[in-house]
Amino acid sequence: MIAMIAKRFASAIPSLIGVIIVTFVISHTLPGDPAAYFAGPSATAESIAETRARLGLDQPLPIQFLTYVGDLVQGDMGRSFNSGQPVLTDLARRLPASFELTLYALVFAIVVAVPLGLWAAVNPGSWIDHLCRGTVTAAAAFPSFFTALVLIFVFYYKLGWAPSPIGRLAIYFPIPPSVTGFLTIDAVLAGDLATARAALGQLILPAISLGLFALAPLARMTRASMIGVLGSDFITTARAEGLPRRTVLWTYGFRNALLPVVNILGMIFSFLLGANVLIEQVFGWPGIGSYAVEAVLTSDYAAIQGFVVMMAVLYILLNLGVDILNMIVDPRVRYDD
């Protein structure tokens, strides 16, 4: 088992190298001259050249690449132009906000999509099946930023149910001492239920807008895999043996149907991390997505580079985690080649 995990881990390394090369190329073709930027507005040609030498930007590209990889290994992603902080510090500070949002969105999507898909699979061709198909196709067509705006308009402006859709917590609530970085959990740990409720309130709209995006693939996958499982021989046998319907559906069907669903969760998480960028922009969410948008719009070279590398590394690790989980859950899964 451990050897297999190690093997699967090793197979992620080429992807990682590819990611680092692509990011390096992307960041070094970015428009704008960082040396001119660092040297300041009153810089002369001489001081710009001096800054360039200091930043190592006058070196040939392969040397720059090696320096970059060396820095990266030590966790040094450079300094952001916008905040003046090391990029790693910025990202680490903002990551929990994005993670919390994405996780809530994922939970929302799972809670809605899996039962919907199962329900449709148990009654294929019925109205519930068509309803499932219709809802899911419609939900997939809604761009998350548009859903977010519609939800804000209806639930904040019209009905007044949602709190002001800006940030993670309204300013008059105390920020709980950071343990996990998730405000809802930290507040509960600190025993401050009012803050926990407020943080949850801020989360609901962005989490739903984000989660709707993931409904379609999850529900489709659940439905398809459950139908596949229900059509297989061991289900027919179980039925012929006279096992109660509930046992057949849940113990025999559901548990087997869940495996492919767990499998695509990694892909869906990546989907959500990408869509996060847009949602954070709409809700003024202080996560890494809004950080990246600001960085892209202002050509903040080190910040973009750091963000893309971190996202890609996270994504690779996540997929790795999902694969390993799969190996543990389902002993039939083997990654031979």
Task: Measure the CA–CA gap between 75 and 71, rounded to whole angstroms.
Answer: 6
The residues near 173 (Cβ < 8 Å, ≥ 6 apart) are: 194, 195, 198, 199
Tell me the backbone φ, ψ of residue 8, rounded to 5 degrees. -65, -35
How many helices (H) and strands (E) would you count in the chain?
15, 0
Q: Closer to another protein at the Cβ: 110 or 152? A: 152
Task: Measure the CA–CA gap between 324 and 333, rounded to whole angstroms.
Answer: 10
Q: Please select the residue that binds another protein; options are 274, 320, 327, 329, rule is CB under 8 A.
A: 274
Q: Closer to another protein at the Cβ: 14 or 60? A: 14
Stretch that binds another protein, among 65-73, 82-90, 216-224, 242-250 (CB under 8 A): 216-224
Q: Please select the residue that binds another protein; options are 48, 55, 95, 149, rule is CB under 8 A.
A: 149
Q: Closer to another protein at the Cβ: 23 or 256? A: 23
Stretch that binds another protein, among 103-111, 142-150, 170-178, 193-201 (CB under 8 A): 142-150
Residue 150 interacts with another protein (CB under 8 A): yes or no: yes
Q: Closer to another protein at the Cβ: 94 or 220? A: 220
Residues 47-106 that bind another protein (CB under 8 A): none
Residue 191: is it exposed, middle or buried by C-beta count within 10 angstroms (0-12/13-18/19+)?
exposed
Task: Measure the CA–CA gap between 4 and 73, rounded to whole angstroms.
Answer: 25
**β-bridge mates for residue 190, sequence order:** none
8 A C-beta contact, residue 15 and residue 8: no
Q: Please select the residue that binds another protein; options are 78, 302, 304, 326, rule is CB under 8 A.
A: 304
Q: Please select the residue that binds another protein; options are 89, 146, 251, 321, rule is CB under 8 A.
A: 146
Task: Measure the CA–CA gap between 175 and 90, rounded to whole angstroms.
Answer: 18
Q: Please select the residue that binds another protein; options are 26, 63, 131, 328, rule is CB under 8 A.
A: 26
**Shortest distance, position 291 Cβ to another protein, whole Å:** 12
> What value, to the nearest 5°, has the Cα angle with vertex 126 and ends 211 and 216?
20
Stretch that binds another protein, among 38-46, 64-72, 236-244, 311-319 (CB under 8 A): 311-319
Task: Measure the CA–CA gap between 205 and 322, rounded to whole angstroms.
Answer: 27
For residue 127, which amino acid is it?
A: W
Residues that bind another protein (CB under 8 A): 14-16, 18-19, 21-23, 25-27, 29-31, 137-138, 140-146, 149-150, 152-153, 157, 220, 223-224, 227, 270-271, 273-275, 277-278, 281-282, 292-293, 296-297, 299, 304, 307-308, 311-312, 315-316
